[in-house]
Structure 1
Amino acid sequence: MILFQNIRFLDTTLRDGEQTPGVALSTEEKLLIAQKLDDLGISTIEAGSAITSAGERESIKAITAEGLNAEICSYCRVMKPDVDYALECDVDSIHLVVPVSDLHINVKLRKDRETVRRMAMDVTEYAKDHGLIVELSGEDASRADLDFLKSLYTSGIDAGADRICFCDTVGLLVPEKTGTIFKDLSSSLSVPVAIHCHDDFGLAVSNTLSALRNGAQEAHMTINGIGERAGNTSFEEVVMALEWLYRYNTGIKCDEIYKVSRLVSRLTGIAVAVNKSLVGANAFTHEAGIHVHGLIADTSTYEPMKPEMIGRQRKVVLGKHAGKSSVTLALKELGLEADASQLNEIVSRVKELGDHGKKITDSDLQSIAETVLEIYRESKVNLEEFTVVSGNKITPTASVKLRLNGDNVVEAGIGDGPVDAAINAIKKAIAGVADIQLEEYHVDAITGGTDALVEVIVKLSKDGRMVTSRGARTDIIMASVEAVLNGINQLMQE
């Protein structure tokens, strides 16, 4: 059984990837990406198509002048001027693309099969005579007559082609057919055979792996799978499937993949889908409590591989699915510890926010945790019940029931608003024990939206001693009550 032999990678991010609608890279951007591709260990970088424009040639020249380890390639049509422009850019090789399906030959070129065969041979010989490596590609090969395709490839090899490529130009292959085709091509042709897939049906990676398993020795891919229409074969997916699923050593510096993915996304302006495998934002992000509980015991429970393998880090986000394990892990990362009762309260507040559709950030969690940790610090004053009434033409009124040194105290207060009324009620309730003054009051919305988590910070004083405390809730009144009670408990500590 044929299985992965001497695989090399041609990256076409700078050519096929740049053909993504709306993408145009500057010379500096192309050079930066090329350098990072070379650092990864890519065999061949298709730097562009020299015939395209003067600006494109400037970019290709900048890349060839960099002295990279990778072979630098220019895309060419079966026309000698294309080769001349490629030579002007001092590339190592050309990707010579020949339409091979009758649809392309008759409709696009308005020629016949034999004319196209002669064109392919003539341009291949011309390029070889000028010292270029030639990779001869059959465009729309998946819709071509296979016997004609093989004969054209054979003619190209006779003319000097160094490699042959089968292009699934509109993504019509299925893995089973791909395997059959590449067993045939790899056994009947005398040079390495490559696969170039598009992802119109989401099968580019599957077809590429099938081709490689059945004799192909080169894969054409792009970073993040960018390209025309639905894109090209995703580089990171093929490489990591080979490395992790098939245990084949690709020679790629896998721990640099994520950095290159982010760079390409930033420079092209093409956002990576959050659920994209390996490099999407959610690929190694966990929320569900049962998953995080498993991760703490053994990361392989809910991760196919360690994120560090491609240069990533695991993330735990908190929301309504969070459990004690998620919160414990997140608190640990913030340098905070909570006992069982504190943890239960923090989890409850996190879920309350999650039920409002919020994702809890580190700053949210820190605010919630610090608030809860202060509440549970041997509180002398605890809130038992709280009611507030406010509205148009109604004097804001609040009533509180506090547990004060073991006794229940009930008081009411009015104010300019519901928060002011609540604070006045609390001050009256503890007046017999301590005279607390509110010196400063400040509120911040930590998260956005009308149901945001708000953090209230108050400065309270008693007998010349001053403390600052906070409260964090989705309800500004409750956050204010919480902040005041936290401060009172601090001031009443002996």
Structure 2
Amino acid sequence: MNIKVLDTTLRDGEQTPGVSLTPQEKLRIANKLDEIGVDFIEAGSAITSEGERDSIKEITKQGLNAEILSFSRPLTVDIDYCLDCDVDAVNLVVPTSELHIADKLKTTKEKLLELSNNAIDYCKDHGLIVELSAEDASRSDLDFLKLVYSNAIEHGVDRICVCDTVGILTPDSSYDLFSSLKEFSVPVACHCHNDFGLAVANTLSAIKGGASEIHTTINGIGERAGNTSFEECIVSIDRLFTQFSTKVHINEIYDVSKLVARLTGVYIQPNKAIVGENAFAHESGIHSDGIIKNSATYEPITPELVGRKRKFVIGKHMGTHGLNNRLKELGLDVNQDQLHQICDNIKLLADNGKTVTDVDLQVIADNVLEINHEDRIKLDEVTIVSGNKVMPTASVKITIDDDQILNAGVGLGPVDAAINAIKSLDIFKDIDLIEYHVDAITGGTDAFIDVIIKLQKGDKVVSARGTEPDIINASVKAYIAGVNRLLRDEVF
């Protein structure tokens, strides 16, 4: 059975505190959602603002394969704005719980029912597809909920949706609720919130109970604790509920996840299922050994399935099998004695609370292998001029292959200026700074600053670090250390 997917990242997801997407950003996300096979895209709420309507109009102009919806209350003014945006459909949201009807709307069930029916008639008279979403359905009287749905179907609604607005369903109650709605002749959708961390589980139970459509957001973003996670649901259906399927191109899940994280600024917790940075990372020696022999030993799915790659983390828990695998990736061949010595040195470093980077590993391995690399680039001096009315300017004195060079650069801040002063030189061309992270590793205003960066040249990526009381010196030293590492294996 094919399960339809309505993604509401652009509406419910944007209600995440602090998130506000521009029309261009919404269009990028909508295009990507359509590209990966999402059936329905809730592009926003047309009543919200002129800017919101402009965003929705840009999306509807694209001629996407997905059905484009706008959120709408059961009011003519809302529906007219939806029509003005030329959407295919409306997500007509009607509160059905006594709490919402009496306390929020200050009305009666009879008037609510009339309001719902009239709104559906108005939508259908104007050629709109209608999905009727019962807000707070999970706390509604079941008989009244069914009455709302049966009336909606009589008035020509195309789909109905159960909204667990405050996330109070459990997998058992979700299954029971959706099983009780099988009598209806139109598709039944499930819209869950994650207040108790059960949104994905409740959505999957709803499918087992009879739901044929699910509402999701990318990365599970949304107000309060968020919504049903798109990526977790899609992969679970694909791998665990094999009697069901979706049209989503599962190998592109990581790409859309990263896109939404970048554009919204809501970054993904490292241990998040499927898309978190640690989802396919292995440090434990036992796990790494098993993964190398057969990835199924400690991975329920392969990372490639969702467009990712596994990684072996260097740390005190890693064993020699995982370490040897990482050393080979770095082009280092060691014997068993050397391997154990390198492993012991890593554990000693990690026991002292230090994050072990590829640069640390290279240095440890070089010492054990008695390979001494002469760095081609050395930092001699860096000077910064900055102030309220002065563009940050940096001058650096560095030695490259025994030649001392003085150079200057400007930037948005002193660190940016210092890096710009260095990377404008020819030897730094084609080297991209792809990640920059700063931690204060001691307390107080004189704290030591730990700067960790990732650099890329071609297919080669390295990490490097600099630890200093001064963030500028730490950043420059980390950058130069990374470049030296990238240049080390090149032939000149």
Work out whether the TM-score is over 0.5.
Answer: yes
Q: Residue in 2 aligned with 1:190?
A: 185
AA matched with 2:359: S
How do residues 12-411 of structure 1 correspond to structure 2 at under 5 angstroms?
A: 12-186=8-182, 188-247=183-242, 248-374=244-370
Contact 1:254 1:310 in 2 (8 A): yes
How many Å apart are 1:19 and its aligned residue? 0.3
Cα distance in 1 for residues equivalent to 2:252 and 2:29: 13
How many Å apart are 1:62 and its aligned residue? 0.5
Gaps of 5+ in 1: 377-446, 454-471, 475-494
Larger-gyration structure (1/2): 1
Q: Residue in 2 aligned with 1:424?
A: none
Cα distance in 2 for residues equivalent to 1:223 and 1:452: 34
How many Å apart are 1:259 and its aligned residue? 0.9
Deviations 1:240-263 (A, max 9, x none): 001011223322111110111111
Instruction: Decide whether aligned partners of structure 1 residues 370 and 67 sit closer, same or farther in structure 2, where only a CA change above 3 A counts.
Output: same
Question: How many positions carry a matched residue from both structures?
Answer: 382
SS for the counterpart of 1:14 is coil
SS for the counterpart of 1:135 is strand
Cα distance in 2 for residues equivalent to 1:11 and 1:28: 18
Deviations 1:433-477 (A, max 9, x none): xxxxxxxxxxxxxx9858999xxxxxxxxxxxxxxxxxx9x9xxx
Note the aligned Cα RMSD (angstroms). Answer: 2.0
Cα distance in 2 for residues equivalent to 1:35 and 1:19: 20
Instruction: Decide whether aligned partners of structure 1 residues 297 and 101 sit closer, same or farther in structure 2, where only a CA change above 3 A counts.
Output: same
Instruction: Decide whether aligned partners of structure 1 residues 452 and 339 sit closer, same or farther in structure 2, where only a CA change above 3 A counts.
Output: farther
Cα distance in 2 for residues equivalent to 1:357 and 1:298: 31
Cα distance in 2 for residues equivalent to 1:357 and 1:193: 52
Cα distance in 2 for residues equivalent to 1:371 and 1:64: 61
How many Å apart are 1:46 and its aligned residue? 0.1
Contact 1:317 1:359 in 2 (8 A): no
How many Å apart are 1:356 and its aligned residue? 1.6
Cα distance in 1 for residues equivalent to 2:118 and 2:352: 68
Instruction: Decide whether aligned partners of structure 1 residues 152 and 44 sit closer, same or farther in structure 2, where only a CA change above 3 A counts.
Output: same
Cα distance in 2 for residues equivalent to 1:184 and 1:246: 21
Cα distance in 2 for residues equivalent to 1:360 and 1:250: 41
How many Å apart are 1:374 and its aligned residue? 2.0
How many Å apart are 1:189 and its aligned residue? 0.8
Contact 2:10 2:42 in 1 (8 A): yes
Cα distance in 2 for residues equivalent to 1:10 and 1:236: 13
Contact 1:74 1:94 in 2 (8 A): yes
Gaps of 5+ in 2: 373-437, 443-447, 451-464, 468-492
Cα distance in 2 for residues equivalent to 1:13 and 1:102: 28
Deviations 1:372-425 (A, max 9, x none): 21269xxxxxxxxxxxxxxxxxxxxxxxxxxxxxxxxxxxxxxxxxxxxxxxxx
AA matched with 1:90: D
Cα distance in 1 for residues equivalent to 2:287 and 2:2: 39
How many Å apart are 1:29 and its aligned residue? 0.4
Instruction: Decide whether aligned partners of structure 1 residues 322 and 76 sit closer, same or farther in structure 2, where only a CA change above 3 A counts.
Output: same
Instruction: Decide whether aligned partners of structure 1 residues 24 and 337 sit closer, same or farther in structure 2, where only a CA change above 3 A counts.
Output: same
List 4+ stretches of structure 1 deviating above 2 A.
447-453
SS for the counterpart of 2:278 is coil
Cα distance in 1 for residues equivalent to 2:36 and 2:358: 33
Cα distance in 2 for residues equivalent to 1:176 and 1:208: 11
Cα distance in 2 for residues equivalent to 1:322 and 1:201: 34
Cα distance in 2 for residues equivalent to 1:141 and 1:122: 20
How many Å apart are 1:214 and its aligned residue? 1.4
Provide the identity percentage.
Answer: 57
Contact 2:120 2:130 in 1 (8 A): yes
Contact 2:251 2:307 in 1 (8 A): yes
AA matched with 1:129: D
How many Å apart are 1:370 and its aligned residue? 2.1
Contact 2:2 2:245 in 1 (8 A): no
TM-score, with length taken from structure 1:
0.75
Instruction: Decide whether aligned partners of structure 1 residues 305 and 84 sit closer, same or farther in structure 2, where only a CA change above 3 A counts.
Output: same
